[in-house]
């Protein structure tokens, strides 16, 4: 059976999402938890895949991973919703065998900017330039042979106390795309 998990984490406790030798990462923490609780044997044999990766210090509220397992959903829920360290699982769903979470229909990223001396009107004006389909080569780390053209469906800005809260909506983003925009 293939299962998808929805999970959250506070990124300040990790060196990013992807496994790295000698570093505490979300992916390794999640895999260790799944293996320790006998839900999977290994990342390779379970075809473990994730929707999105985050960098050092970046948190996620709704990341998704999927894997093959012989465990029932009930066992997974009972094993993963108690004492799960700094990665919290809050959703379990059976999915089709070919389900691959990287093919998400939409991703959402939220960033907080301190207002300080920020020209709020200029930020509101600038976001319109980034909405739609554009070549983001100068606003991201573009991996070799990766198409730098992406479409940002919407950017919503809300003023909250001393912050501007920016929500970005798109199907895909490039590495560091949003954090380099502003």
Kindly report the CATH number assigned to the domain that includes residue 127: 3.30.70.660
91 and 7 in one domain? yes
Cα distance between residue 4 and residue 90, in whole Å:
11
Q: Cα torsion at 27, 29, 32, 37 (round to 10°)?
A: -110
85 and 131 in one domain? no
pTM to 2 decimal places: 0.77
What's the CATH code of the domain at 33? 3.30.70.580
Q: How many CB atoms lie within 10 A of CB 80?
A: 21
Catalytic-role residue among 55, 68, 86, 153: 55
177 and 137 in one domain? yes
The answer to whether 121 and 103 have CB atoms below 8 angstroms apart is no
Domain that holds residue 172: 107-181
84 and 117 in one domain? no
55 is catalytic: yes
What pLDDT score was predicted for residue 180? 56
Query: Could you tell me if residue 102 is inside a domain?
Result: no
What pLDDT score was predicted for residue 182? 43
Query: Could you tell me if residue 58 is inside a domain?
Result: yes
The answer to whether 31 and 69 have CB atoms below 8 angstroms apart is no
Question: Where does a domain end: 95, 119, 149?
Answer: 95
* Number of domains within the chain: 2
The answer to whether 30 and 17 have CB atoms below 8 angstroms apart is no
Q: How much is the mean pLDDT over the chain?
A: 88
Task: Give the model's confidence band at 59: pLDDT under 50 very low, under 70 low, under 90 confident, else very high.
Answer: confident
128 and 164 in one domain? yes
For residue range 67-96, list pLDDT tens digits in order.
999 999 999 988 887 776 788 899 999 999
Query: Could you tell me if residue 35 is inside a domain?
Result: yes
What pLDDT score was predicted for residue 108? 85
């Amino acid at each position: 059976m293939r299962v998808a998990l929805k999970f959250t984490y506070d990124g300040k406790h990790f060196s990013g999402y992807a496994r790295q030798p000698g570093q505490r990462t979300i992916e390794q923490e999640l895999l260790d938890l799944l293996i320790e609780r006998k839900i999977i044997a290994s990342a390779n044999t379970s075809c473990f895949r994730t929707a999105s990766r985050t960098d050092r210090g970046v948190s996620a509220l709704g990341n998704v991973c999927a894997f093959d397992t012989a465990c029932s959903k009930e066992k997974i829920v009972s094993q993963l919703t108690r004492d799960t360290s700094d990665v919290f699982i809050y959703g379990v769903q059976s999915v089709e065998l070919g389900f691959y979470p990287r093919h998400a229909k939409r991703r959402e990223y939220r960033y907080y900017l301190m207002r300080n001396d920020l020209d709020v009107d200029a930020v509101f004006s600038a976001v319109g330039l980034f909405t739609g389909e554009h070549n983001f080569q100068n606003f991201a780390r573009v991996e070799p042979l990766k198409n730098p053209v992406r479409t940002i469906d919407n950017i919503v800005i809300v003023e909250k106390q001393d912050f501007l809260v920016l929500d970005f909506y798109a199907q895909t983003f490039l590495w560091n795309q949003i954090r380099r925009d502003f």
